[in-house]
Chains A and B, each alone.
Chain A
Amino acid sequence: MTTVWSSPPEPMPWFRAAVEDAWLETRTARTVVLDVPGWPGHDAGQHVDVRLTADDGYTATRTYSVASAPEAGRLVLTVQLVGEGEVSPWLVGEARAGDELEVRGPIGGWFRWTESMPEPVLLVAGGSGVVPLMAMVRQKVRSGAATPFHLVYSARTPDHVFYTNELFALARTTPGLRVDRLFSRAGLPDDERAPGRLRPEDLPAADATPVPPRVYVCGPSGFVEAAAGILLAKGHDSGAIRTERFGPSS
């Protein structure tokens, strides 16, 4: 059989990881900081496989987006609890400093941003779909890239917002970063926008920036469908829109 590989590629190794810190973002989502000796780093937007092992050797593996900017030896995940799930209940309800697990990756070369990409960036997040987009925001901030970033982040209610304080601070201190927060069910008393699902006026048109932006949309499937439909109607090229939907990562 002819293959494109000149020699058999090595499988991606599993890395041993230790929980360094963990805190709740909301009542049902937790950020978990992992110390991963040997981890080579990743690109913002990519994900990792997380493997948990019970004391009798039983394992379960799920895929999670990385929330942190690329860094060797360290990874931050934010995991939304899936009630019927197997891995997320442990990560959200049980993980504490010192616990051990394994990670493998990084995975996904498409939904990815690096500061070498010159176009303006439009990020559209639904619920916990903000996680890989937050990695991109953090990477912009850390790299000092002048790339204009516009994050439109829709959450159910103020109780469901991840990274509240960090986004508030970054939006006020980072040149070129705009953050619009929308609520789909119930908002805050001083919101100008009535709560509700994503509307055409919530997203900028392709010509809102001097050059059409590179667009990343992440969220539940229905949200991504709606957002992509609005973006196409507002002149964004289908090839400029990268989407990632929640596969269930229970």
Chain B
Amino acid sequence: MAAAGGLRGHSVCSVTCPGDNGAVDIVTRGFVGRRQGRDPRIPPGQYLERDFPVLSAGPTPRVRQEDWRLDVSTPDGEVTTLGWSDLMALPVQDLTTDIHCVTKWSKLDTTWRAVSVDAVLEAVGAAETDAAFVLVHAEGGYTTNLPLADLRDGRGWVAVGYDGAPLTPEHGGPVRLLVPHLYLWKSAKWLSGLELRREDHPGFWEQLGYHAYGDPWREQRYVGD
């Protein structure tokens, strides 16, 4: 990302100015930065975080395990509902993965227990579908959209555990989506529905200026990135 073209030429930096070769046209006096040894697993513009910050748009929904439901709907409007025991009857796997939040922190080697979205789609008989997109629904009205392909082939997970324990409500428990290769807002907490669609439809943050796809390696943070 370069600075807006129209602002070039106003540079007032004086001593060593990389802007002279056109690469950078602004220098923040006195800024050095921390430059932690750059782990190649951290995408551009992200920094390493050891805590697990919580971000959400409203109060944390409290969903009891026994009340949890997942509605999977097809483009033709057929809805199949899974409950907790249905989900637990599917293969639950342990996985270790890196996660990246659009607010710029990344966390490496996080460990989860999860069922693959592949297994969920298989279980509800929706593995063969002409849908190309999913609008993900969550308790409290949150939605997020992504291409169905990004949830398949082991890339999307329905997570029930984090770091050796059941998922806490703050982190989306009892059940959240986990799509580690996209910014974390795509990994909807308090998962309640997968709406398979032929056409894309922007979700909550996607209607509020965030990127429709959200690839951290391409820094797709906001609309137009």
Contact = CB atoms under 8 A, between A and B. Distances in A.
B60 A53 contact: no
A102 B26 contact: yes
B166 to A, nearest CB: 17
A55 to B, nearest CB: 5
Q: Which 8 A-B pairs have the closest CB atoms?
A: A109-B208, A247-B103, A228-B59, A13-B4, A11-B224, A9-B224, A52-B28, A52-B31
Interface residues of B, number: 63
Given A1-B200, A100-B29, A109-B209, A239 B141 contact: yes
Interface of B: 1-4, 6-7, 10, 12-13, 15-18, 23-24, 26-35, 45, 47, 49, 51, 53-61, 101, 103-105, 132-133, 140-141, 147, 170, 198-202, 204-205, 207-209, 212, 222-225
Secondary structure of the B side of the interface? loop
B222 A11 contact: yes
A55 B224 contact: no
A241 interface: yes
A98 to B, nearest CB: 8
Interface string A219-250: 00100010011011000001101110111111
A69 to B, nearest CB: 20
B146 to A, nearest CB: 12
A247 B101 contact: yes
B58 A94 contact: no
A3 interface: yes
A233 to B, nearest CB: 11
Given A4-B200, A86-B33, A221-B170, 19 more contacts: A1-B147, A2-B133, A4-B201, A13-B3, A16-B26, A53-B24, A55-B16, A55-B17, A58-B33, A60-B33, A99-B30, A108-B208, A110-B205, A221-B54, A225-B170, A228-B59, A241-B59, A248-B51, A248-B53
Given A243-B57, A247-B55, A2 B103 contact: no
Interface string A1-31: 1111100111111111000000000000000
A242 B201 contact: no
A247 B55 CA distance: 7
Contacts of B29: 94, 98-100
B136 to A, nearest CB: 16
A198 to B, nearest CB: 14
B105 A247 contact: yes
Contacts of A59: 24, 33
Contacts of B212: 3-5
Contact of B1 (A11, A86, A238): A11
Contacts of B4: 13-16, 38
Nearest to B45: A61
17 contacts: A1-B147, A4-B201, A4-B212, A16-B3, A52-B28, A52-B33, A53-B24, A57-B23, A58-B35, A86-B33, A90-B30, A94-B30, A100-B29, A109-B207, A241-B59, A245-B53, A246-B53
